[in-house]
């Protein structure tokens, strides 16, 4: 997918292959990938080019004027899903729905159509994933 390729290329520099370990239990990743995230940084990632979440999701809390509607709006998601459940959805939504169009932000296996220099690098690093989870938790 073109979208995924672009996102991977834009953010590969932030990747830290040393922290690519996580354990999925049920529909969640219970153990944080890094130190507790920062919700304000998370909002910037979600609304900016690192995350590009608003291409598909409406999140009015970001204050953005233009938002996508091909994915469910994320208002209230912090009340419906736990931090552990949110973490898996950001890390690798394809674990829950193999046909999803949502990029796997912290998965490295199976991303074959990226330039060699960027192979094996996730879109977001571990700290950025935790920032995004922290922001999503504020959407109650």
Of the pair 3, 115, the CB lying nearest ligand HEC is at 3
According to CB under 6 A, which residues from 89 to 108 bind ligand HEC? 89-90, 93, 96-97, 100-103, 105
Residue from the set 6, 34, 39, 71 that interacts with ligand HEC by CB under 6 A: 71
29-33 long-range contacts (CB < 8 A, ≥24 apart) are 29/84, 29/87, 29/88, 29/91, 30/84, 32/83, 32/87, 32/130, 32/133, 33/87, 33/91, 33/106, 33/126, 33/127, 33/129, 33/130
- For residue 93, the minimal CB distance to ligand HEC (Å) is 5
The residue count of the chain comes to 140
Contact flag: residue 46 with ligand HEC (CB under 6 A): yes
Binding site for ligand HEC (CB under 6 A): 3, 46, 51-53, 55-57, 71-72, 74, 77, 86, 89-90, 93, 96-97, 100-103, 105, 132, 136
């Amino acid at each position: 997918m073109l979208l995924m390729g672009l996102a991977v290329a834009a953010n590969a520099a932030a990747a830290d292959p040393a922290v690519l370990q996580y354990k999925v239990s049920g529909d969640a990743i219970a153990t944080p990938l890094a130190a507790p995230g920062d919700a304000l940084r998370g909002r910037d990632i979600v609304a900016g080019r690192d995350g590009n979440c608003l291409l598909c999701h409406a999140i009015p809390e970001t204050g953005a004027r233009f938002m996508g509607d091909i994915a469910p709006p994320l208002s209230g998601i912090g009340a419906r899903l736990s931090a552990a459940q949110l973490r898996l959805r950001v890390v690798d939504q394809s674990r829950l729905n193999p046909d999803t169009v949502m990029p796997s932000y912290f998965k490295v296996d199976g991303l074959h159509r990226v330039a060699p220099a960027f192979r094996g690098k996730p879109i977001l690093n571990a700290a950025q994933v935790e920032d995004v989870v922290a922001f999503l938790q504020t959407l109650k």
